[in-house]
Chains A and B, each alone.
Chain A
Amino acid sequence: MSADNKKGLAKAHEIYSNRGKYAREQKNQGKKIFGYFCCYPPIELLTALDIIPVRILGDMEQPITLADNCLPPVMCIFCRSAFDIGMKGQYDYFDGFVGAHACDGAERTSIIWSNYIKTPCNFHLDIPHTTHDAAVEFFKEQLEYFQKELEKSIGREITPDKLRSAIAAHNHQRALVRQIYELRKLDPPLITGTEMLTVLIATMGMSVQEGNLLIEEVLQEIKQRENVQEKKSRLLIWGSLIDNAAFTELIESSGLNIVIEDTAIGTRPYWHDIRDTKDPLLGIAEHYLKEVLCPRTFRDSGKNYEQDSEQRFSYLKDFAKYWKVDGVFANIIRNCDIHGYEVPVIKDYLNGLGIPVLVIEQDYSTASLESLRTRFQAFAETIAS
């Protein structure tokens, strides 16, 4: 049965399981498909040109083979995996590729990608590291270049109205995702972490309009639910992204309910709306630089360690409070420096709030997942007691 014949969670699962097939079907219908790295390229610009933005992910189930010739094994395994499946032709439906200087791994992979995997349009978006006014201005200028390259590639201009309408559609999607998060405040939550992951990944391969319809169906479906899962300790996931449901299933079958994720496939792309500014690109630049809270962006340090931690992580305190979090899983994909440096800092901060933290560095492979089960079970038992 194709995704068209399904609705809500079943449809999300179908698309999540067959991202390439779904994207190819869209392409066969005459749609343009662009791949993009991480949650920093503003997909609103793609939507404004009726391009479907497909988030580039890796595949925890596939061994890395072809990437070894181009990226060293010491590199972030997620980036290597994404590049590997790109080299294997699994993203051969891209009409364009948008790389981004999100972190070192994403930046170098994006640039190296352009050498080996050719697409009709290719743009590398440089992203500043700070949130100063000059950085916002610089980022906005880079977005202007990005916009021009897209327009050249598609042969149409993005009018301010078109861009505003794309921003509105994506803001609507952000609001819908936040509505699902609201339903996870309940105990037990009305949607599992695994279901949430499949919904988010599915929408990251669809047009924003289709994605919004899907989320509305999901919302309608889960609101009807009663006690879809048993009460368990409530877990917040912080850190590197998780893009495979096998991982969340393992966690949730180890005595934990995932209630919120501060990751790049979680709250980060959805938590804040893009402001309506006179120049829409300014609103976009400010949003992506200031409000996507990945630790890759340096925010000016506070007066001391405590104040600095508070400035950078107080939103986690709110998540913990309102989602009644019992414990935090700090997920580090091995060799992810951006999150790796934060480990003792985030532990200091969360432990200071009385929240236990489980830190696991993992190898982004489903083959090595099962060995983590006992650690999650032990953590669940610890926080339950």
Chain B
Amino acid sequence: MEKDNSVKTMKSAKTLKTAREAGYFGKKMLTDAIKAQEEGHPIGWSMVSWWQGDFIAKAMGMHLVYPENYGAFCAAVRQAEPYLEIADSEGFPNNLCGYARNCLGFAKCLRDNNYVIPEGAPGGGLARPVLMLASGCACDARYKWFQSLGRYLNDVPVWNLEMPQTGVKEYYLPGNKEKNLRFIVAELREFVKFMENLLKKKLDYDKLHAMLDQALKTLNLAWQVDLLRRAVPSPMVSQDFWSVMIPHFYLPDDPEAYSFYERVYAEVKEKVDNGIGAIPNEKYRMMFSELPPWHSIGFFDELAKRYGIAMVMESWNYHAPTPMAEEELHGINDPLEIIARLTYHKWMEHNTVAREFDTAPGFFNAAYLRWAQEYKADGFFAHPLLSCRPATYTLMHTRNSLEEKLKVPGVVVPGDIIDLRVFNSDEGFSKVEAFVETMDHYRELRKEAGMAW
């Protein structure tokens, strides 16, 4: 699998001690699944579903691994290219999602090796699944990819989770939110039936409830860390977040993830209390969107060093949501409905901002209008991704909205989550160098307009 390539990549040093420890969780997911398979437990390959399907599968004794995360992992250790090439040679268009192509290449190797993980697979590889848990939320690739994996995982069923993606105006139509929620719950019930039939066992609702309680605690703590990041100078930057996010995003039900977040919180809080910034010379505060170039996170260390840029907040969809209001959960004891409300809340919570600013959509877009004010952002770093397109469709619109409504300018530096060849760091530095003056100019404009930062 080893392949020498001459493309320049950059690893980040990370500013938090806890961020440097977080890689443990990614490896833990992979190795736990392999161990579980050896012990005869069922394995599921799951898309990120914003916790919609995870707890149900886990409460039924299934061990989940996340091929999207595996793609990021392979890219970070620069071992994705051989899998991408296999996917290309199988006839999949080379502009499909990089994570998907990485996974399709891996799955072919797995099949060709009689479903024994090939030696040298990055991180130990993905154990053979009995289920592929897809999601219609966020992007089409996340069910089309699993569907096409049938070529290599011949008899593994795919279940597709449903999540409505209502427009902002439509969200506020009388009764629509409740109808959306009812649909999600109905589909979750079907999913439970499907799982019970697949695994020949009943779902333990008490266990599910306990996992959900733990998960809500972890997500709440992750959100509190986000609140601390509003401080000036910023105590934690995106380079840290991309590592720290793994436990809350993939394993919020794991008590170990909660303990980890307690340490993250303590470390970040200490920096805030003592006015210590993540970077020593913070001059500009920027928001980043969408997924980063995993192979070159060090690019942002260099931006900090050269221009004093702190990436103070980033990509909306990877963050824990704000805790749900008490009335949202009042009297609701059915864990399936709590899950439905959690995921739906994550996707719809910024509709209030979208409505306030007369912009759409609420997801992928409106959060940045809120954060620009709360995090005192000077600029927006848009990173359109060649092979993760749906996440980037709204980027230019978000850039326009921030500039028009809040006088926060944006810079666009294209790249890719996996493909090293697409990201040109030198071009990125040139663009940002010029953009620094733009941020200075807009600071003056905000000042003239009487804005708070």
Interface residues of A, Cβ cutoff 8 Å to B: 68-76, 99, 101, 103-105, 107-109, 111-112, 114-115, 122-124, 126, 128-130, 132, 134-135, 137-138, 141-142, 145, 295-296, 298, 301, 303-305, 308-309, 332, 334-335, 337-338, 340-345, 347-348, 359, 361
Task: Please state if A126 and B164 are interface contacts (CB–CB under 8 Å).
Answer: yes
- Specify which of A76, A107, A115 is in contact with B397 (CB 8 Å cutoff): A115
Q: What 1/0 mask marks residues of chain B from 97 to 121 whose CB sits below 8 Å from any chain A CB?
A: 1001000000000000000000000
Known: A74-B392, A128-B164, A340-B93. 10 other contacts (CB 8 A): A128-B162, A128-B183, A130-B162, A130-B187, A134-B162, A138-B179, A141-B183, A301-B157, A303-B157, A361-B93
Please give me the residue from chain A that is nearest to B97 by CB atom: A337
Task: Flag if B136 contacts A74 (CB, 8 Å).
Answer: no
Residues A129 and B179 in contact in the complex (CB < 8 Å), given A69-B396, A70-B396, A337-B96 = no
Answer whether A126 and B360 are a contact pair too, CB < 8 Å, given A337-B141, A343-B91. no
Q: Is B342 an interface residue (CB 8 A)?
A: no
Within 8 A of A (CB), among B221-271: none
Can you offer 5 A-B residue contacts whose CB atoms are under 8 A? A69-B396, A104-B393, A332-B93, A335-B389, A341-B148
Query: Given contacts A134-B190, A359-B91, is CB(A296)–CB(B397) below 8 Å?
Result: no
B139/A104 in contact, CB under 8 A: yes
Whether A74 lies near B389 (C-beta < 8 A) is: yes
Decide yes or no whether B294 CB sits under 8 A from chain A: no
- Give the Cβ gap from B296 to chain A, nearest Cβ, in Å: 18
Let me know if B95 and A334 touch, CB within 8 A: yes
List the B residue with the shortest CB-CB distance to A114: B360
Decide yes or no: A105 and B393 within 8 Å by CB, A126-B164, A305-B150, A337-B141 being known contacts. Answer: yes
Measured CB to CB, the closest approach of chain B to A186, in angstroms, equals: 34
Q: Does B218 contact A (CB under 8 A)?
A: no
Q: Do A108 and B157 touch across chains, with their CB atoms under 8 A apart?
A: no
A183 to B276, CA, bound (A): 77
Report the Cα distance A371→B166, complex, angstroms: 41
Interface residues, chain B, with chain A CB atoms under 8 Å away: 90-93, 95-97, 100, 134, 136, 139-141, 143-145, 147-148, 150-151, 154-155, 157-158, 160, 162, 164-167, 169-170, 173, 176, 179-180, 183, 186-187, 190, 359-361, 384-386, 389-390, 392-397, 400-401, 412, 414
Report chain A residues within 8 Å CB of B160: 129-130, 298
Whether the pair B392, A138 counts as a contact (CB closer than 8 A) is no
| A129 and B162 contacting across the interface, CB-CB below 8 Å | yes
In the complex, what residues of A have CB within 8 A of residue B414's CB?
Answer: 72, 74
Q: Are A340 and B92 in contact (CB under 8 A)?
A: yes
Question: Given A126-B164, A135-B162, A304-B155, are A112 and B187 neighbors across the interface (CB < 8 Å)?
Answer: no
B145 contacts across to A, CB distance below 8 A: 341
**A334 — which chain B residues lie within 8 A by C-beta?**
93, 95
Scoring B140, B180, B186, B360 by chain A CB atoms within 10 A of each residue's CB, the highest score goes to B140
